[in-house]
């Protein structure tokens, strides 16, 4: 069942990194969204005490991914605003190890929809928690970079930090 997570958000907290400040949005169920750095910082707001431990896990995981490392434990992820298909794709993405990649077609076959490579790309583009649900590890055929919600520069940067060779 799909719900609107925007109305259920209780806190938004910054994660400061050398690559810019990400913004983590939390619901009562867990981390619901992770925004890419923007030029203007919105600061922190909401019920900060309720999400303190989740934010510590999120912050560490973001720093790990940006360093090209495997992440430790993640906070609960609130994916209630997504479809069943998207959640299946994202579960498959979370199984791709740091430094590894898979193609859109392989992910489609993994979720039982072998002809749905384009739909997998759509699910990657709709990923509300990039970095932690590692859609940057999904490539087009022949290890070509494909698209990315954060922009191709981010995808190249993240894959490079994981020592993944790609074809432009």
Please work out, in degrees rounded to the nearest 5, the angle formed at the alpha carbon of residue 83 by the alpha carbons of 92 and 25: 85
Beta-strand relationship, 30-35 and 20-27: antiparallel
Burial class (CB within 10 angstroms; exposed 0-12, middle 13-18, buried 19+) of 70: exposed
Q: Which residues pair with 167 in a beta bridge?
A: 144
Locate tokens 């999400």: which residue?
A: 51
The answer to whether 149 touches 130, Cβ cutoff 8 Å, is yes
Structure tokens at 116: 């749905």
**Rounded CA gap, 136 and 42, in Å?**
25
- Distance between CA atoms of residues 118 and 101, nearest Å: 17
User: Residues with catalytic annotation?
Assistant: 135
């Amino acid at each position: 069942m799909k719900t609107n997570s925007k109305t259920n958000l209780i806190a938004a907290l910054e994660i400061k990194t050398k690559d810019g400040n990400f913004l983590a949005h939390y619901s009562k169920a867990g981390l619901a969204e992770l925004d890419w750095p923007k030029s203007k910082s919105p600061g922190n707001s909401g019920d900060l005490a309720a999400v303190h431990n989740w934010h510590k896990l999120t912050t560490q995981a973001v720093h790990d991914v940006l360093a090209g490392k495997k992440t430790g434990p993640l906070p609960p992820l609130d994916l209630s605003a997504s479809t069943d298909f998207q959640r299946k794709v994202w579960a498959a993405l979370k199984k791709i190890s740091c430094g590894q990649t898979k193609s859109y077609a392989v992910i489609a076959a993994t979720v039982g929809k072998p002809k749905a490579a384009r739909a997998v790309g759509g699910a990657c583009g709709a990923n509300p928690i990039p970095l932690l649900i590692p859609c940057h590890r999904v490539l087009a055929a022949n290890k070509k970079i494909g698209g990315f919600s954060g922009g191709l520069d981010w995808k190249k940067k993240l894959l490079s930090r994981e020592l993944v060779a790609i074809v432009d």
